[in-house]
Amino acid sequence: MSALSVEELDLLAPIEREAILDRTLDWAAINSGTGNLAGLAAMADRLAEAFAALPGDIRLVDPAPVEKVDAEGKLREVGHGRHLLLSVRPEAERRVLLTGHMDTVYAREHPFQTCSWIDADRLNGPGTADMKGGLSLMLAGLVAYEQTAPSLGYDVLINSDEETGSLSSAALIAQRAHSKLAALTYEPGLPDGSMARARPGSGNYAAVITGRSAHAGRNPQDGRNAILAASELALRLAAGIREGLTINPARIEGGAPNNTVPDLAILHFNLRPRSPELAEIARALVDEAVAHASVTHDVQIHLHGQISRPPKPITPQTEALFTLVGKAAADLGQLGDEPMRWQDTGGVCDGNNIAACGVPVLDTMGALGGAIHSPQEFMIASSLDARARLTALVLHRLDRNGVHA
C-alpha cells in the first residue's frame, strides 16, 4: 500500500470487516424477494435507517406502474416496492451515481432463507453476494469518504425491482444518471476478483395469440390452433439465434381440453443482443416471425415487451473509469502482481440502463461471490472490507482528480 498518500491511508484506516459483515447478516435475514412487498418495505426501512449515517436527504420513491400479461392473456398491474434515494451535495459541480438493489430472487416461500458458513471466508446465504453484502460495503466506503472534507456530490439509488428488469425504476435510474461524471453499481464481482466489462442487452416479451376454438373431432378445420401458432413462433425465433444474439423461448401458456382446438396461447421469450445493431436486427426478426405465424395459422398475435436493458458497450470514457479503478485496486495491494481482470458477461443489470444514458459505469463493485440465484449462493467475507476500501479510494480520487486521473 506504499502507493497511497498519507491522506489516503487515513481515509481507509477506519474501515473494518466486522461491522460490514454484521450488517450484511442482518439484512440477509430479511426476505426481500421482488414480489414480497412487506419484506421489501422492511428492507427499505432498514436501509433508510443505515444510510442516514450519511449527509443529505433520504426518501422512498413510489414505483412507476408496471403491467404484465397474465395466464389469460390480459394485462394486469404488478406491485413493486418503493425505491430508496439519497442525494448528497446536489449543488456540487461534479456528481456521481452509486446504485444497488434491495430485492433478491428468493420468494417468501423459497426454502433458502438462512445463512451458514461454508468455511472461514465463504458465507452461504440468500442475497449475501447479490447484493446485500454490496450494499453494506457501499455504505462503509461512503462513510469513510465523508471523513475527508469531500466536495464530490452523489446520489445513492437502491431499487426494489432489479431482479425482474427494473421496469418500475427505469425512469428514476435515467433521471438520476443524467449529467453524472461516473457511476458505480454494486453487483457482485466474480470469486477471483474479476470485474464485468461489456454486457448484452435484454428484452422480455409475451406474445398473446388468439385463435378460434372448435371441436377437435367434429369440425377441427373450423378452429385456429393457438398452441400450434405459438410453437411455430417459438421455432422461428430460435432459428434467428446467431453470433452475438441469443433468443430463448421460455414458456408457452394457454391451451384447452384435449377435445377442443385451443384458441389462446401465450409465448414468453427473452432475447439478448450484444450491440445496438444486433438489437435492431432482433426487433426486425421478431416482427417477421410474428407476421409469418399470424398469416400461416390465421391467428391474431399481440406482442408485449421491449428491450428494457440496452446493450452496454465499452466507450473511451468507460475505459478511463476502468483504468482509475484498476489502479486504485493495485495501489491497495488487492491485485498482487497481476492487473485487474475484466470479463465480458452474458448477464445484464442496471449498469446497462446507466450506460445507455452516456455515463461511464463500472457495475461489479460489490462483494465477491458466486452461484448467485441459487441455494448455493455464497459471498467471500474478506472482500467486504477490501471492496469498501476500494469504494472510498475511488470516490476520493474522483473527487480530487476526476475520471481521467
pLDDT digits (tens, 9 = 90+) for 306-360: 999 999 999 999 999 999 999 999 999 999 888 999 999 999 999 999 999 999 9
Using pLDDT thresholds of 50, 70 and 90, give the confidence band for residue 105.
very high
Structure pTM? Answer: 0.96
Separation of alpha carbons 81 and 64, rounded Å: 10
Domain range list for the chain = 6-199+312-401, 202-309
pLDDT digits (tens, 9 = 90+) for 252-265: 999 999 999 999 99
CA dihedral 153, 159, 163, 166 (to 10 degrees): -90
What CATH superfamily is the domain 6-199+312-401?
Zn peptidases (3.40.630.10)
Protein fold of 202-309: Alpha-Beta Plaits (3.30.70)
Do the domains 202-309 and 6-199+312-401 match in fold?
Answer: no
What percent of the chain stands above pLDDT 70?
99
For residue 21 the three cell numbers come to 459483515
Task: Name which residue leads in pLDDT, 265 or 404.
Answer: 265
Asked whether the beta carbons of 156 and 72 are under 8 A apart, the reply is no
> Is the confidence at residue 1, as pLDDT, over 50?
no
For residue 310 the three cell numbers come to 440496452
pLDDT digits (tens, 9 = 90+) for 47-57: 999 999 999 99
Supply the mean pLDDT for the chain: 97
The 95-101 sheet, strands edge to edge: 57-61, 83-88, 153-159, 95-101, 182-185, 361-362
Question: ω into residue 195 within 30 of 0, thus cis?
Answer: no
Using pLDDT thresholds of 50, 70 and 90, give the confidence band for residue 2.
low
